[in-house]
Chain A
Amino acid sequence: MTTKEPEAPPPFIFRDGAIQTVLDLRVYRLTAIQKSAYRFAERCTAVLGSPEADRLPVRFVFGPTIIEQDALETARLFFQELLDQELREQVGDETRALRALIIAQAFSRTDLIRQD
């Protein structure tokens, strides 16, 4: 399997201090979306709507001093971050059990793991 990078997001429209978009949950996991929103909290508030089928409405709400150009750039960067988060989820899925094994191996000859 190769990791397919999702297509570019649709052009954004900045209106009333916010940008509205819709994310495809078949492409981005909800955890990846939530983590991206958390990471971008200083730049904007990403308000996640209720998912309908595989579509999740997202509204980026900006502070009162934002200019349109910066808002559009933030939305673009959010999608870049989303790609990274999605990759991180893949790495996590593949390596979670192995990390537990390494830690168990690391402490196997210490008092931290009961031998019985």
Chain B
Amino acid sequence: MFHDRSRYQSSRGYQLAPFRFSPLDGSRYIATNDVGEYVVLPREELVEFISHALPPDREAYKSLKSRHFMFDEYSRVALELLALKYRTRAEQLASFTGLHIFVVTLRCDHSCPYCQVSRQAEGRLDFDMSQEHADQALNFMFRSPSPALKIEFQGGEPLLHFERIRYIVERAKALNQVHGRDLQFVIASNLSRLTDEVLAFCREHGVLLSTSLDGPEALHNAQRPVRGGDSHQRTIDAIRRARQTLGPDAVSALMTTTQASLERVEDIIDEYVRQGFHGIFLRNVSPYGFAVRQRASRQYGVEAWVEFYKRGLAHILRINEQGYPLQEEFTAILLQKLFSPRGSTYVDLQSPSGIGIGALVYNYDGAVYASDEGRMLAEMGDFSFRLGHLSRDSYESIMTSETLLTHLSDTMPEGAPMCGDCAFLPYCGADPVFHQATLGDAVGHKAFSAFCKKQMGVLRHLIGLLEDDSRARDILLGWR
């Protein structure tokens, strides 16, 4: 039952609009609203504001009013504007599932201790995706309403089954003659099998490459063992060849933080600069697959990773000040969430959770998972995020399956204890697979959640920089 809006006008100077607040540091609070606007203010002012005692000539009053934290008698249209912004932020949900991950093989030639999947030996062809499953997955993908479809090939090492990649790309393009989507292809590979044939194919079809670079040679080789012990050299050579053939921006790289990397964030970043990258994603190790069995995921706590991130970000900002453009990708995603009216589509930080509606995974064996981490969890024997099978289930039955819908509704952070009151909620997400893996249920008690600690740690630091360091702010705002 809705009342006329005059009912919401306050006799006490101004009417509070819905908002959440959390401590930012020892003395200040951050207040945010549902459309992602934020205001930082001292606690005394926050209390004054909530008490309807904030004088209109105060700077905080103006900020709170212009960012829709209150309505006064001069801000009648503000309610419509706020509703419009809310709608804009929610709109992207309608064009769901833009990312489709094809696991073309589980075979791999590396044996990285932090590997998140259960890789198989190179000769195990029974861990390859069949053409029949590839066809079914493509039909499935084109049922997604998203106008842009990104196909990401993963493994194992996907280039060990290049023939299937070739088939899928060519077939997707043929089918797209009818569907008319904006198609993009990425191969996530260690590049050790990047032959001239593969490069020529990538050039012909506009396929991008994403690889792993963990830092300087000794660190990278220690973390990414391969026969010959020269993973770093092979990766660097392949990056150079790929850039020559495909262009300077066709290869991106990812790093994974291990215990050994914790002290070396500056060296890792410098290696990215040395190799000509303009982006680096500082990633913590995930609690799935081999990483768990080999205890790589439990070597350091989230607090140590947040310190690693802070040091890394400071180093990246210094590098930018010296004239070399380099952005930290996780920070860039958060900045999009902080400042873009549409937020960001990064799957791990979605509300409702990005599982299924942000990404779908077609495993080598035809199983469909709600996220890449969901299939990794299944490799550990937990099938909570397995939605069905390409040979047995239709698109409709999978997308409206009890498994998916329950996870989505359970993980709306607005209704989750702690998240519902948290100022960081508009910039956060749910990550149900992480919580299932670490805490045993998809929502997770956030007081014990490493995901929550990471989000709070990083967001507090980032917002603190934006507020207090004008040079950092200028650089950071260029990353959005």
Contact = CB atoms under 8 A, between A and B. Distances in A.
Contacts of B174: none
Contacts of A94: 15-16
Decide if the interface of chain A is mainly helix, strand, loop or mixed: helix
B50 A3 contact: yes
Contacts of B8: 97-98, 101
Interface in A81-116: 84-85, 87-88, 90-91, 94-107, 110
A105 to B, nearest CB: 4
Contact of A98 (B17, B417, B418): B17
Contact of A41 (B17, B86, B448): B448
A38 B418 contact: yes
Interface residues of A, number: 31
B52 interface: yes
Nearest to B3: A97
Interface string A45-86: 000000000000000000000000000000000000000110
B43 to A, nearest CB: 9
A95 B21 contact: no
B173 to A, nearest CB: 33
Given A39-B418, A107-B87, A3 B47 contact: yes
A102 to B, nearest CB: 5
B83 A106 contact: yes
Contact of A95 (B17, B46, B51): B17
A105 B445 CA distance: 33
B339 to A, nearest CB: 20
B80 interface: yes
B15 A91 contact: no
A7 interface: no
A2 B34 contact: no
A35 B5 CA distance: 31
A113 B28 CA distance: 40
B12 interface: yes
Interface string A10-47: 00000000000000000000000001001111100000
Contact of B86 (A35, A38, A103): A103
Nearest to A111: B94
B50 A95 contact: no
Contacts of A99: 18, 34
Contact of B447 (A41, A91, A96, A104): A41
A40 B18 CA distance: 25
A1 B34 CA distance: 26
Given A3-B47, A41-B445, A105 B83 contact: yes
A87 B50 contact: yes
Given A35-B417, A90-B50, A106-B83, 18 more contacts: A1-B51, A3-B50, A35-B421, A38-B417, A38-B445, A42-B447, A84-B23, A85-B421, A87-B46, A91-B16, A91-B21, A95-B16, A97-B3, A98-B8, A102-B79, A103-B86, A106-B90, A107-B87
List 9 A-B pairs, minimum CB-CB distance, nearest first. A105-B83, A3-B51, A99-B18, A106-B87, A95-B18, A106-B86, A2-B51, A106-B83, A41-B447
